[in-house]
A and B are shown apart, each in its own frame.
Chain A
Amino acid sequence: MIPALITWTVAAPALAFVLLMLPWGVGRSASEVYTARVVRWAFLSSFLAAAAALVEMLFTGVDAVVVPLGHLFSVHHHDLALTLLVDRLSLPFALLVTALCGVIGSFGYRYLHREPGYTRFFILLLLFSLGMLAVVLGGNLGLLYAGWELLGLSSALLIGFFHERAAPVKSALRAFITYRICDVALLTAAIFLHQASGSGAFDEAYLGLWPHQTSTLSPGAAGLIGLLLVVAALGKSGQLPFSGWLPRAMEGPTPSSAIFYGALSIHAGAYLLLRNAPVLDAAPAAQVLLVGVGLSTALHATLAGRAQTDVKSQLAYASMAQVGLILAEIGLGLRFLALLHVVGHATLRSLQLLRAPSALADHHQQETGAGGLLAETGRHYEALLPAGARRWLYRFAMERSYLDDALERFLLGPVVRGLEAADRAERRWISRLGRGPGEGRGDEAEP
Protein backbone atom coordinates (compact mmCIF):
# COMPACT_ATOMS: atom_id res chain seq x y z
CA MET A 1 0.00 0.00 0.00
CA ILE A 2 2.87 2.40 0.79
CA PRO A 3 4.14 2.49 -2.81
CA ALA A 4 0.67 3.45 -4.11
CA LEU A 5 0.22 6.11 -1.42
CA ILE A 6 3.62 7.68 -2.03
CA THR A 7 3.12 7.59 -5.78
CA TRP A 8 -0.14 9.49 -5.34
CA THR A 9 1.57 12.00 -3.02
CA VAL A 10 3.77 13.00 -5.97
CA ALA A 11 1.24 12.40 -8.73
CA ALA A 12 -1.51 14.62 -7.29
CA PRO A 13 0.33 17.96 -7.73
CA ALA A 14 1.60 16.78 -11.12
CA LEU A 15 -1.94 16.02 -12.24
CA ALA A 16 -3.19 19.35 -10.91
CA PHE A 17 -0.40 21.12 -12.80
CA VAL A 18 -1.57 19.50 -16.04
CA LEU A 19 -5.21 20.35 -15.26
CA LEU A 20 -4.33 24.02 -14.79
CA MET A 21 -2.23 24.12 -17.95
CA LEU A 22 -4.97 22.54 -20.09
CA PRO A 23 -7.18 25.63 -20.41
CA TRP A 24 -4.16 27.62 -21.63
CA GLY A 25 -3.53 24.97 -24.26
CA VAL A 26 -6.93 25.62 -25.80
CA GLY A 27 -6.53 29.38 -25.63
CA ARG A 28 -8.57 30.04 -22.49
CA SER A 29 -7.65 31.00 -18.95
CA ALA A 30 -8.73 29.00 -15.93
CA SER A 31 -11.26 30.66 -13.60
CA GLU A 32 -10.39 31.36 -9.97
CA VAL A 33 -12.97 28.85 -8.76
CA TYR A 34 -11.63 26.08 -11.01
CA THR A 35 -8.04 26.88 -10.02
CA ALA A 36 -8.80 26.91 -6.29
CA ARG A 37 -10.77 23.66 -6.50
CA VAL A 38 -8.05 21.80 -8.38
CA VAL A 39 -5.27 23.03 -6.09
CA ARG A 40 -7.27 22.30 -2.92
CA TRP A 41 -7.99 18.70 -3.89
CA ALA A 42 -4.45 18.12 -5.09
CA PHE A 43 -2.77 19.19 -1.85
CA LEU A 44 -5.41 17.64 0.39
CA SER A 45 -5.22 14.24 -1.29
CA SER A 46 -1.42 14.44 -1.48
CA PHE A 47 -1.18 15.20 2.26
CA LEU A 48 -3.66 12.45 3.18
CA ALA A 49 -1.73 9.91 1.11
CA ALA A 50 1.56 10.87 2.80
CA ALA A 51 -0.10 10.73 6.23
CA ALA A 52 -1.59 7.31 5.47
CA ALA A 53 1.84 6.08 4.41
CA LEU A 54 3.27 7.32 7.72
CA VAL A 55 0.54 5.54 9.69
CA GLU A 56 1.16 2.32 7.78
CA MET A 57 4.90 2.56 8.35
CA LEU A 58 4.37 3.13 12.08
CA PHE A 59 1.99 0.21 12.43
CA THR A 60 3.93 -2.25 10.30
CA GLY A 61 7.34 -1.27 11.69
CA VAL A 62 8.80 -0.74 8.22
CA ASP A 63 11.75 1.67 8.32
CA ALA A 64 12.38 2.30 4.64
CA VAL A 65 10.61 1.54 1.38
CA VAL A 66 12.01 1.94 -2.12
CA VAL A 67 9.31 2.60 -4.72
CA PRO A 68 10.50 1.86 -8.26
CA LEU A 69 8.51 3.66 -10.96
CA GLY A 70 10.59 2.58 -13.95
CA HIS A 71 13.38 4.34 -15.79
CA LEU A 72 13.27 7.67 -17.57
CA PHE A 73 15.91 6.30 -19.92
CA SER A 74 18.41 3.50 -20.11
CA VAL A 75 21.26 3.50 -22.62
CA HIS A 76 24.07 0.95 -22.42
CA HIS A 77 25.46 1.45 -18.89
CA HIS A 78 23.68 4.71 -18.13
CA ASP A 79 20.18 5.14 -16.84
CA LEU A 80 18.03 7.45 -14.76
CA ALA A 81 15.81 5.44 -12.46
CA LEU A 82 12.53 6.98 -11.32
CA THR A 83 12.74 5.68 -7.77
CA LEU A 84 11.17 7.13 -4.64
CA LEU A 85 12.73 6.53 -1.25
CA VAL A 86 10.47 6.62 1.83
CA ASP A 87 12.27 6.59 5.17
CA ARG A 88 12.52 8.40 8.51
CA LEU A 89 13.96 11.46 6.83
CA SER A 90 11.98 11.78 3.62
CA LEU A 91 8.50 11.07 4.98
CA PRO A 92 8.45 13.84 7.64
CA PHE A 93 9.69 16.24 4.98
CA ALA A 94 7.04 15.05 2.50
CA LEU A 95 4.34 15.61 5.13
CA LEU A 96 5.70 19.07 5.85
CA VAL A 97 5.75 19.92 2.13
CA THR A 98 2.19 18.79 1.41
CA ALA A 99 0.78 20.31 4.61
CA LEU A 100 2.42 23.71 4.17
CA CYS A 101 1.68 23.88 0.46
CA GLY A 102 -1.96 23.15 1.29
CA VAL A 103 -2.02 25.88 3.95
CA ILE A 104 -0.34 28.41 1.66
CA GLY A 105 -2.76 27.44 -1.11
CA SER A 106 -5.73 28.06 1.17
CA PHE A 107 -4.29 31.43 2.18
CA GLY A 108 -3.57 32.33 -1.43
CA TYR A 109 -7.12 31.69 -2.73
CA ARG A 110 -8.33 34.82 -0.96
CA TYR A 111 -5.11 36.80 -0.72
CA LEU A 112 -4.63 36.80 -4.49
CA HIS A 113 -8.31 37.23 -5.38
CA ARG A 114 -8.60 39.24 -8.64
CA GLU A 115 -4.83 39.49 -8.97
CA PRO A 116 -3.94 39.33 -12.71
CA GLY A 117 -1.54 36.43 -12.21
CA TYR A 118 -3.90 34.35 -10.03
CA THR A 119 -3.66 31.08 -11.98
CA ARG A 120 0.03 31.65 -12.75
CA PHE A 121 0.73 31.77 -9.02
CA PHE A 122 -0.93 28.42 -8.41
CA ILE A 123 0.71 26.82 -11.44
CA LEU A 124 4.08 27.87 -10.04
CA LEU A 125 3.10 26.71 -6.55
CA LEU A 126 2.26 23.28 -7.97
CA LEU A 127 5.53 23.22 -9.91
CA PHE A 128 7.35 24.11 -6.71
CA SER A 129 5.60 21.39 -4.69
CA LEU A 130 6.42 18.87 -7.42
CA GLY A 131 10.07 19.92 -7.30
CA MET A 132 10.16 19.82 -3.52
CA LEU A 133 8.60 16.34 -3.44
CA ALA A 134 11.13 15.15 -6.03
CA VAL A 135 13.90 16.52 -3.82
CA VAL A 136 12.69 14.90 -0.60
CA LEU A 137 11.35 11.64 -2.02
CA GLY A 138 13.81 11.16 -4.89
CA GLY A 139 15.69 7.91 -4.48
CA ASN A 140 18.79 9.06 -6.32
CA LEU A 141 20.76 12.21 -6.92
CA GLY A 142 19.54 12.43 -10.52
CA LEU A 143 15.91 12.73 -9.47
CA LEU A 144 16.85 15.02 -6.60
CA TYR A 145 18.67 17.25 -9.06
CA ALA A 146 15.62 17.41 -11.35
CA GLY A 147 13.51 18.54 -8.38
CA TRP A 148 16.24 20.98 -7.35
CA GLU A 149 16.02 22.63 -10.80
CA LEU A 150 12.21 22.88 -10.56
CA LEU A 151 12.63 24.60 -7.19
CA GLY A 152 15.06 27.12 -8.64
CA LEU A 153 12.89 27.97 -11.60
CA SER A 154 9.61 28.27 -9.70
CA SER A 155 11.35 30.34 -7.05
CA ALA A 156 12.81 32.79 -9.60
CA LEU A 157 9.51 33.10 -11.44
CA LEU A 158 7.64 33.80 -8.22
CA ILE A 159 10.17 36.39 -7.06
CA GLY A 160 9.57 38.09 -10.40
CA PHE A 161 5.80 37.59 -10.13
CA PHE A 162 5.15 41.34 -10.24
CA HIS A 163 7.21 41.62 -13.40
CA GLU A 164 5.97 45.05 -14.34
CA ARG A 165 8.26 46.55 -11.69
CA ALA A 166 12.04 46.56 -12.19
CA ALA A 167 13.06 45.49 -8.68
CA PRO A 168 11.34 42.06 -8.62
CA VAL A 169 12.79 41.20 -12.04
CA LYS A 170 16.30 42.15 -10.93
CA SER A 171 15.91 40.19 -7.70
CA ALA A 172 14.59 37.15 -9.56
CA LEU A 173 17.59 37.11 -11.87
CA ARG A 174 19.98 37.50 -8.95
CA ALA A 175 18.36 34.54 -7.18
CA PHE A 176 18.41 32.45 -10.35
CA ILE A 177 22.10 33.13 -10.97
CA THR A 178 22.90 32.05 -7.41
CA TYR A 179 20.78 28.93 -7.88
CA ARG A 180 22.60 28.02 -11.07
CA ILE A 181 25.96 28.33 -9.32
CA CYS A 182 24.81 25.93 -6.63
CA ASP A 183 23.23 23.68 -9.31
CA VAL A 184 26.66 23.31 -10.90
CA ALA A 185 28.05 22.25 -7.53
CA LEU A 186 25.22 19.76 -6.96
CA LEU A 187 25.46 18.22 -10.42
CA THR A 188 29.22 17.89 -10.10
CA ALA A 189 28.75 16.25 -6.69
CA ALA A 190 26.24 13.84 -8.23
CA ILE A 191 28.73 12.95 -10.97
CA PHE A 192 31.53 12.33 -8.49
CA LEU A 193 29.29 10.34 -6.13
CA HIS A 194 28.17 8.14 -9.01
CA GLN A 195 31.76 7.67 -10.09
CA ALA A 196 33.14 7.00 -6.61
CA SER A 197 30.41 4.71 -5.25
CA GLY A 198 29.25 3.14 -8.51
CA SER A 199 25.68 4.32 -8.02
CA GLY A 200 23.73 7.51 -7.60
CA ALA A 201 20.94 5.72 -5.70
CA PHE A 202 20.91 6.55 -2.00
CA ASP A 203 19.98 3.02 -0.93
CA GLU A 204 22.98 1.66 -2.84
CA ALA A 205 25.58 4.39 -2.25
CA TYR A 206 24.95 4.45 1.52
CA LEU A 207 24.68 1.43 3.81
CA GLY A 208 22.13 1.08 6.64
CA LEU A 209 19.15 3.18 7.59
CA TRP A 210 18.99 6.92 8.10
CA PRO A 211 20.32 8.44 10.41
CA HIS A 212 22.84 5.66 11.01
CA GLN A 213 24.00 5.30 7.42
CA THR A 214 27.62 4.89 6.41
CA SER A 215 29.40 5.15 3.09
CA THR A 216 32.33 3.29 1.59
CA LEU A 217 33.77 6.40 -0.07
CA SER A 218 37.49 7.07 0.22
CA PRO A 219 38.40 10.12 2.37
CA GLY A 220 39.52 12.08 -0.71
CA ALA A 221 36.31 11.41 -2.66
CA ALA A 222 34.15 12.08 0.39
CA GLY A 223 36.00 15.34 1.04
CA LEU A 224 35.47 16.62 -2.49
CA ILE A 225 31.81 15.51 -2.72
CA GLY A 226 31.14 16.88 0.76
CA LEU A 227 32.52 20.30 -0.15
CA LEU A 228 30.46 20.41 -3.35
CA LEU A 229 27.30 19.43 -1.46
CA VAL A 230 27.98 22.14 1.10
CA VAL A 231 28.36 24.76 -1.66
CA ALA A 232 25.09 23.58 -3.24
CA ALA A 233 23.31 23.77 0.11
CA LEU A 234 24.72 27.20 0.97
CA GLY A 235 23.44 28.70 -2.28
CA LYS A 236 19.95 27.27 -1.98
CA SER A 237 19.65 28.19 1.69
CA GLY A 238 20.85 31.77 1.30
CA GLN A 239 23.99 31.38 3.39
CA LEU A 240 27.26 33.30 3.15
CA PRO A 241 28.66 34.22 0.69
CA PHE A 242 25.50 33.61 -1.42
CA SER A 243 23.14 35.35 0.99
CA GLY A 244 22.45 38.49 -1.06
CA TRP A 245 19.49 37.07 -2.96
CA LEU A 246 17.40 36.06 0.06
CA PRO A 247 16.20 39.45 1.40
CA ARG A 248 15.61 40.59 -2.18
CA ALA A 249 13.48 37.50 -2.79
CA MET A 250 10.77 39.07 -0.63
CA GLU A 251 9.67 41.03 -3.71
CA GLY A 252 7.34 38.12 -4.54
CA PRO A 253 3.75 37.74 -3.25
CA THR A 254 3.57 37.08 0.49
CA PRO A 255 2.30 33.47 0.23
CA SER A 256 5.23 32.54 -1.99
CA SER A 257 7.67 34.29 0.35
CA ALA A 258 6.23 32.22 3.18
CA ILE A 259 6.47 28.88 1.43
CA PHE A 260 9.83 29.47 -0.23
CA TYR A 261 11.93 31.56 2.12
CA GLY A 262 10.21 30.89 5.40
CA ALA A 263 9.30 27.25 5.10
CA LEU A 264 10.49 24.88 2.45
CA SER A 265 12.85 26.04 -0.26
CA ILE A 266 15.24 27.58 2.21
CA HIS A 267 15.49 24.22 4.00
CA ALA A 268 16.20 22.27 0.82
CA GLY A 269 19.92 22.70 1.45
CA ALA A 270 19.53 21.27 4.96
CA TYR A 271 17.63 18.30 3.52
CA LEU A 272 20.35 17.71 0.92
CA LEU A 273 22.99 17.58 3.62
CA LEU A 274 20.91 15.38 5.91
CA ARG A 275 20.22 12.97 3.04
CA ASN A 276 23.93 12.79 2.23
CA ALA A 277 25.07 12.78 5.86
CA PRO A 278 27.30 9.70 5.36
CA VAL A 279 29.43 11.76 2.98
CA LEU A 280 29.74 14.56 5.51
CA ASP A 281 30.72 12.06 8.22
CA ALA A 282 33.71 11.09 6.12
CA ALA A 283 34.55 14.70 5.19
CA PRO A 284 35.79 16.62 8.26
CA ALA A 285 36.81 19.65 6.16
CA ALA A 286 33.25 19.97 4.84
CA GLN A 287 31.87 19.67 8.38
CA VAL A 288 34.19 22.40 9.66
CA LEU A 289 33.27 24.61 6.72
CA LEU A 290 29.57 23.99 7.33
CA VAL A 291 29.76 24.86 11.02
CA GLY A 292 31.90 27.93 10.31
CA VAL A 293 29.71 29.27 7.54
CA GLY A 294 26.49 28.43 9.40
CA LEU A 295 27.55 30.33 12.52
CA SER A 296 28.99 33.24 10.52
CA THR A 297 25.74 33.52 8.58
CA ALA A 298 23.73 33.44 11.79
CA LEU A 299 25.84 36.32 13.14
CA HIS A 300 25.68 38.29 9.88
CA ALA A 301 21.93 37.78 9.52
CA THR A 302 21.26 38.75 13.12
CA LEU A 303 23.20 41.97 12.67
CA ALA A 304 21.74 42.87 9.29
CA GLY A 305 18.22 41.87 10.34
CA ARG A 306 18.25 44.30 13.27
CA ALA A 307 18.88 47.23 10.92
CA GLN A 308 16.01 46.38 8.51
CA THR A 309 13.04 48.72 8.32
CA ASP A 310 10.38 46.42 6.87
CA VAL A 311 8.90 43.32 8.37
CA LYS A 312 9.49 40.94 5.44
CA SER A 313 13.19 41.79 5.26
CA GLN A 314 13.50 41.29 9.01
CA LEU A 315 11.86 37.90 8.68
CA ALA A 316 14.14 37.00 5.75
CA TYR A 317 17.21 37.67 7.88
CA ALA A 318 15.67 35.81 10.79
CA SER A 319 15.17 32.80 8.49
CA MET A 320 18.75 33.09 7.28
CA ALA A 321 20.03 33.10 10.86
CA GLN A 322 17.99 30.05 11.86
CA VAL A 323 19.04 28.09 8.79
CA GLY A 324 22.65 29.00 9.60
CA LEU A 325 22.17 27.40 13.00
CA ILE A 326 20.50 24.34 11.43
CA LEU A 327 23.45 23.88 9.07
CA ALA A 328 25.85 24.21 11.99
CA GLU A 329 23.88 21.49 13.80
CA ILE A 330 24.19 19.24 10.75
CA GLY A 331 27.91 19.96 10.63
CA LEU A 332 28.17 18.90 14.25
CA GLY A 333 26.35 15.65 13.49
CA LEU A 334 23.16 16.53 15.41
CA ARG A 335 20.81 15.17 12.77
CA PHE A 336 17.59 14.65 14.73
CA LEU A 337 17.98 18.06 16.33
CA ALA A 338 18.43 19.58 12.89
CA LEU A 339 15.32 17.76 11.62
CA LEU A 340 13.25 19.02 14.55
CA HIS A 341 14.67 22.51 14.11
CA VAL A 342 13.67 22.48 10.43
CA VAL A 343 10.08 21.44 11.15
CA GLY A 344 9.67 23.95 13.99
CA HIS A 345 11.29 26.81 12.12
CA ALA A 346 9.39 26.15 8.88
CA THR A 347 5.97 26.20 10.55
CA LEU A 348 6.65 29.22 12.77
CA ARG A 349 8.22 31.30 10.01
CA SER A 350 5.37 30.51 7.60
CA LEU A 351 2.90 31.80 10.14
CA GLN A 352 4.95 34.96 10.73
CA LEU A 353 5.27 35.67 7.02
CA LEU A 354 1.58 35.08 6.38
CA ARG A 355 0.78 37.53 9.17
CA ALA A 356 3.36 40.05 7.88
CA PRO A 357 0.88 42.06 5.75
CA SER A 358 -1.19 42.55 8.92
CA ALA A 359 1.77 43.52 11.14
CA LEU A 360 0.57 47.08 11.73
CA ALA A 361 -2.98 45.97 12.48
CA ASP A 362 -1.62 43.35 14.91
CA HIS A 363 0.55 45.98 16.60
CA HIS A 364 -2.37 48.37 17.03
CA GLN A 365 -4.48 45.56 18.41
CA GLN A 366 -1.77 44.71 20.94
CA GLU A 367 -1.46 48.35 21.95
CA THR A 368 -5.20 48.61 22.34
CA GLY A 369 -5.15 45.51 24.49
CA ALA A 370 -2.25 46.80 26.57
CA GLY A 371 -3.89 50.20 26.99
CA GLY A 372 -0.93 52.24 25.68
CA LEU A 373 2.33 52.12 23.70
CA LEU A 374 4.21 48.83 23.86
CA ALA A 375 7.64 48.94 25.48
CA GLU A 376 10.56 48.78 23.04
CA THR A 377 12.44 45.53 23.17
CA GLY A 378 15.54 44.09 21.58
CA ARG A 379 17.98 46.87 22.45
CA HIS A 380 19.89 45.04 25.20
CA TYR A 381 22.92 43.98 23.20
CA GLU A 382 23.39 47.34 21.51
CA ALA A 383 23.42 49.05 24.89
CA LEU A 384 26.48 47.03 25.91
CA LEU A 385 28.57 48.63 23.15
CA PRO A 386 30.33 52.03 23.21
CA ALA A 387 28.52 54.75 21.22
CA GLY A 388 31.20 54.90 18.46
CA ALA A 389 31.14 51.18 17.90
CA ARG A 390 27.34 51.27 17.85
CA ARG A 391 27.30 53.75 14.95
CA TRP A 392 29.91 51.77 13.03
CA LEU A 393 28.07 48.54 13.66
CA TYR A 394 24.79 50.07 12.54
CA ARG A 395 26.36 51.19 9.28
CA PHE A 396 27.94 47.76 8.89
CA ALA A 397 24.54 46.11 9.40
CA MET A 398 22.77 48.55 7.06
CA GLU A 399 25.29 47.72 4.32
CA ARG A 400 24.69 44.00 4.88
CA SER A 401 28.31 43.50 5.98
CA TYR A 402 29.47 45.05 2.66
CA LEU A 403 29.22 41.60 1.14
CA ASP A 404 27.13 42.52 -1.89
CA ASP A 405 29.47 45.41 -2.69
CA ALA A 406 32.50 43.17 -2.41
CA LEU A 407 30.97 40.52 -4.69
CA GLU A 408 29.94 43.18 -7.19
CA ARG A 409 33.32 44.91 -7.17
CA PHE A 410 35.70 41.97 -7.07
CA LEU A 411 33.81 39.14 -8.80
CA LEU A 412 30.74 40.06 -10.82
CA GLY A 413 32.05 43.38 -12.16
CA PRO A 414 35.33 42.08 -13.59
CA VAL A 415 33.60 39.03 -15.12
CA VAL A 416 30.94 41.15 -16.82
CA ARG A 417 33.52 43.68 -18.03
CA GLY A 418 35.62 40.83 -19.44
CA LEU A 419 32.65 39.37 -21.30
CA GLU A 420 31.66 42.77 -22.65
CA ALA A 421 35.21 43.28 -23.90
CA ALA A 422 35.04 39.91 -25.65
CA ASP A 423 31.74 40.90 -27.23
CA ARG A 424 33.18 44.21 -28.45
CA ALA A 425 36.18 42.37 -29.91
CA GLU A 426 33.80 40.04 -31.78
CA ARG A 427 31.94 43.00 -33.28
CA ARG A 428 35.16 44.74 -34.30
CA TRP A 429 36.41 41.56 -35.97
CA ILE A 430 33.19 41.11 -37.94
CA SER A 431 33.18 44.76 -38.89
CA ARG A 432 36.76 44.61 -40.15
CA LEU A 433 36.31 41.29 -41.95
CA GLY A 434 33.14 42.32 -43.72
CA ARG A 435 34.27 45.76 -44.82
CA GLY A 436 33.98 46.05 -48.60
CA PRO A 437 36.27 48.02 -50.90
CA GLY A 438 35.86 51.74 -50.30
CA GLU A 439 33.67 51.24 -47.21
CA GLY A 440 34.35 53.17 -44.02
CA ARG A 441 33.96 51.88 -40.46
CA GLY A 442 30.55 53.40 -39.99
CA ASP A 443 28.97 52.52 -43.31
CA GLU A 444 26.78 49.89 -41.74
CA ALA A 445 24.91 50.34 -38.50
CA GLU A 446 25.85 48.12 -35.58
CA PRO A 447 23.14 45.58 -34.71
Chain B
Amino acid sequence: MSVTEEIRNRLEQAFRPTLLEVVDDSERHRGHAGYREGGESHFNVTIRAAAFAGMSRIERHRAVHAALGKDLVGRIHALALDIGA
Protein backbone atom coordinates (compact mmCIF):
# COMPACT_ATOMS: atom_id res chain seq x y z
CA MET B 1 0.00 0.00 0.00
CA SER B 2 1.36 3.46 -0.83
CA VAL B 3 1.81 6.01 1.93
CA THR B 4 -0.90 8.12 0.30
CA GLU B 5 -3.37 5.21 0.56
CA GLU B 6 -2.30 4.46 4.09
CA ILE B 7 -2.92 8.05 5.19
CA ARG B 8 -6.27 8.05 3.44
CA ASN B 9 -7.36 4.73 4.99
CA ARG B 10 -6.41 5.66 8.53
CA LEU B 11 -8.13 9.04 8.38
CA GLU B 12 -11.28 7.58 6.80
CA GLN B 13 -11.53 4.97 9.54
CA ALA B 14 -10.83 7.39 12.37
CA PHE B 15 -13.02 10.34 11.37
CA ARG B 16 -15.50 9.31 8.61
CA PRO B 17 -14.75 12.66 6.92
CA THR B 18 -17.16 14.54 4.70
CA LEU B 19 -14.14 15.75 2.72
CA LEU B 20 -10.71 14.18 2.49
CA GLU B 21 -7.91 15.14 0.15
CA VAL B 22 -4.45 13.63 0.45
CA VAL B 23 -1.98 15.19 -1.96
CA ASP B 24 1.57 13.95 -2.38
CA ASP B 25 3.37 17.26 -2.68
CA SER B 26 6.85 15.74 -2.77
CA GLU B 27 7.77 16.84 -6.28
CA ARG B 28 7.53 20.48 -5.28
CA HIS B 29 10.22 19.73 -2.71
CA ARG B 30 12.61 17.99 -5.12
CA GLY B 31 16.15 18.80 -4.06
CA HIS B 32 15.07 20.03 -0.63
CA ALA B 33 15.84 18.26 2.63
CA GLY B 34 13.75 15.15 3.14
CA TYR B 35 12.97 14.61 -0.54
CA ARG B 36 13.12 10.98 -1.60
CA GLU B 37 13.19 9.64 -5.14
CA GLY B 38 9.71 8.29 -5.85
CA GLY B 39 8.04 10.93 -3.70
CA GLU B 40 5.75 10.12 -0.76
CA SER B 41 7.75 12.32 1.61
CA HIS B 42 5.69 15.55 1.67
CA PHE B 43 1.91 15.55 2.01
CA ASN B 44 -0.87 18.09 2.10
CA VAL B 45 -4.00 16.81 3.80
CA THR B 46 -7.35 18.58 3.77
CA ILE B 47 -9.98 17.01 5.99
CA ARG B 48 -13.44 17.98 7.18
CA ALA B 49 -15.30 15.89 9.72
CA ALA B 50 -17.94 16.44 12.37
CA ALA B 51 -15.56 14.78 14.84
CA PHE B 52 -13.43 17.95 14.89
CA ALA B 53 -16.24 20.22 16.06
CA GLY B 54 -15.49 21.70 19.46
CA MET B 55 -11.79 20.86 19.31
CA SER B 56 -9.08 23.51 19.49
CA ARG B 57 -6.58 23.75 16.65
CA ILE B 58 -3.98 21.88 18.65
CA GLU B 59 -6.47 19.16 19.59
CA ARG B 60 -7.44 18.69 15.94
CA HIS B 61 -3.85 18.29 14.87
CA ARG B 62 -3.13 15.91 17.75
CA ALA B 63 -6.19 13.82 16.81
CA VAL B 64 -4.92 13.51 13.24
CA HIS B 65 -1.39 12.68 14.39
CA ALA B 66 -2.82 10.00 16.71
CA ALA B 67 -4.98 8.50 13.96
CA LEU B 68 -2.02 8.28 11.61
CA GLY B 69 0.16 6.74 14.30
CA LYS B 70 3.73 7.42 15.34
CA ASP B 71 5.19 5.02 12.81
CA LEU B 72 3.51 6.58 9.78
CA VAL B 73 4.08 10.15 10.97
CA GLY B 74 7.74 9.25 11.52
CA ARG B 75 8.10 8.08 7.92
CA ILE B 76 6.68 11.29 6.46
CA HIS B 77 9.07 14.20 6.18
CA ALA B 78 6.44 16.91 6.04
CA LEU B 79 2.73 16.96 6.68
CA ALA B 80 0.67 20.09 6.06
CA LEU B 81 -2.78 19.84 7.64
CA ASP B 82 -5.93 21.80 6.91
CA ILE B 83 -8.50 20.51 9.40
CA GLY B 84 -12.08 21.60 9.86
CA ALA B 85 -15.43 20.45 11.17
**A and B: interacting chains:** no
> Which residues of B approach A to under 8 Å, CB–CB?
none
